[in-house]
């Protein structure tokens, strides 16, 4: 399993900096739920029975074979982008955003509709009765990179298939919030999204 990348702050995130993430989120957590379900089903049965993971290769690999995104670091170098902060998403998106905000004394606005979630992750989460957004926010172990860049670099990353702008940095007095798909504002928390689900 990849080593956790410590928070790196090259400068300091400034108001207006873009909050970005590589890849997609929630897959590792949903893959774990799938593996645990199959383990429960097979418990006590013949050892010759194989788990039913057909068509779920992507999310299973997200859990079993996580890969550090060194390619994104190289990509940013090639694009001549110097992130103002960077951390890997090992504890869930919400927790890592809060790490950046607290270490830099800034606030943020995160947009739920911008959080990248793979269709297989989304559909499988729904099969388990889970909210895909909650899986991305609190699931963890995705090992994607969360980073901030100046707004002036937007054109360099716009439309790149491996980078998604999910929000922006604000003054600390503006709070650390997520704007839901319905437009409601929710205080960002590392854990405990029951209230978010109920009020969504």
Asked if residues 20 and 75 have their Cβ atoms less than 8 Å apart, the reply is no
Q: 15-34 pLDDT, tens per residue? A: 999 999 999 999 999 999 99
Asked if residues 21 and 166 have their Cβ atoms less than 8 Å apart, the reply is yes
Q: 75-124 pLDDT, tens per residue? A: 999 999 999 999 999 999 999 999 999 999 999 999 999 999 999 999 99
pLDDT band at 47 (very low <50, low <70, confident <90, very high): low
C-alpha dihedral sign at 188, 76, 145, 102: negative
The Cα 64–Cα 44 span in angstroms is: 23
**Encoded tokens for 187:** 């205080």
The Cα 23–Cα 141 span in angstroms is: 13
Question: For 165, phi and psi rounded to 5 degrees?
Answer: -85, 120
Write down how long the chain is: 200
Q: What does the domain layout of the chain look like in residue ranges?
A: 18-194
Asked if residues 31 and 148 have their Cβ atoms less than 8 Å apart, the reply is no
Superfamily of domain 18-194: PurM-like C-terminal domain (3.90.650.10)
**Encoded tokens for 156:** 């360099």
Q: 107 in helix, strand or coil?
A: strand
Asked if residues 183 and 115 have their Cβ atoms less than 8 Å apart, the reply is no
Rounded-to-10 torsion of CA 70, 73, 10, 27: -60
What is the percent of the chain where pLDDT is above 70?
A: 84
**pLDDT higher than 80, residue 150:** yes
């Amino acid at each position: 399993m990849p080593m956790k990348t410590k928070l790196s702050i090259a400068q300091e995130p400034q108001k207006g900096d873009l909050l970005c993430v590589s890849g997609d989120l929630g897959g590792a957590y949903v893959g774990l739920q799938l593996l645990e379900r199959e383990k429960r089903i097979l418990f006590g049965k013949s050892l010759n029975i194989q788990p039913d993971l057909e068509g779920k290769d992507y999310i299973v690999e997200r859990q079993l074979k996580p890969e550090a995104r060194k390619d994104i670091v190289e990509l940013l170098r090639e694009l001549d982008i110097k992130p103002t902060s960077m951390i890997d998403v090992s504890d869930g998106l919400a927790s890592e955003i809060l790490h950046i905000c607290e270490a830099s004394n800034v606030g943020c606005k995160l947009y739920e509709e911008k959080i990248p979630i793979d269709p297989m992750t989304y559909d499988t989460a729904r099969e388990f009765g889970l909210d895909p957004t909650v899986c991305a926010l609190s699931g963890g172990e995705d090992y994607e990179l969360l980073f901030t860049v100046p707004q002036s670099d937007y054109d360099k990353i716009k439309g790149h298939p491996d980078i998604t702008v999910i929000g922006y940095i604000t003054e600390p007095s503006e709070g650390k919030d997520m704007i839901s798909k319905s437009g409601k504002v929710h205080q960002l928390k590392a854990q405990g999204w029951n209230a978010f689900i109920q009020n969504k």
